[in-house]
Amino acid sequence: MVKTVRSAKYPMDVVVKEFEMAEKTRQQRKRIDEQFTREVQLHDRINQFEHPNIVRLIGYGAWCGKRAILTEYIPNRRLIDHLTSLPPNHTRVQIALDVALVLQYLHGLLPPILHSDIKPENIMLGHNNTPKVIDFGCSIEVRGNAAMMRGRTPEYAGPEWQRRLGRIGLPFDVHCLGMVMLELMTGRRAVEPEVDLHLRALVKETPEEALASNDYQVLWAEVHQLIADGMPRHKFVAMMNLIMQCCRNEAEDRPNIDVVVQRLEAILNPW
């Protein structure tokens, strides 16, 4: 259970993630304890340097059959709730860059850490729309070239999740970021209910399939109108090329996060 706590006991509002141990079997308590320990260790590693775009660890503890992790409280402004109302494209590209810098930091640790659940629901917007990445409950250390993934959101997951029976590597985060950037730039969800042709199709169809589909061409035209408003054409093209490369089906064909950061910086500066 996750809740926000406002109490005189704390000098600031905090988010408390509780791991309930009461009324559990011995085996269940063992699994919960292992999950709690794993998350605490990951938070400790992630917070060894105070990254401006990562939610801060405040503390953790175990008492009365409970385990809890306390993190910084950010007013409830999730990116998912502001996709359509964000300021012009310059701000949206800056948010994409800031999230990419979080992944660059995580992937640069030894061993690297895979967030594995980058999505608009896990990105909070603070002062001046500065993003902060939250929810490291599914994060894992990558030892060797791959790790076993504990969870994923299908709309953002790379196809390697199913093909490799859950074994994924750092390119998985790049795929998730690509889908987030697509939503961020268009103000639309990648997969929407009651829509015949989802936005996700833009980065999943082959060029041959795209050319053969009138619906696909109409969708492209809609996206061009959404993104190109107030955005120089060459930057629109560069942004869409980057998004499509991040979302390639083959993990080894995606750019690494360092390249993604460099290209976002080039798109952003000068505007």
**CB neighbours of 152 closer than 8 A, spacing ≥ 6?**
116, 117, 138, 161
Q: Residues 189-202, buried b or exposed e (16+ Cβ, 10 A)?
A: bbeeeeeeebbbbb
Secondary structure (3-state) at 34 = helix
The three-state (H, E, C) secondary structure of 199-260, written as one string: HHHHHCCCHHHHHCCHHHHHHHHHHHHHHHCCCCHHHHHHHHHHHHHHCCCCHHHCCCHHHH
Strand spans (E) along the chain: 2-5, 14-20, 57-63, 66-72, 113-114, 123-125, 131-133, 140-141, 147-148, 167-168
Compute the distance between CA of residue 271 and CA of residue 188 in angstroms, rounded to an integer. 23
Compute the distance between CA of residue 167 and CA of residue 114 in angstroms, rounded to an integer. 12
- Which residue among 44, 81, 117, 196 is the active-site one? 117
Cβ atoms of 153 and 117 closer than 8 Å? yes
117 is catalytic: yes
Give catalytic residue positions.
Answer: 117
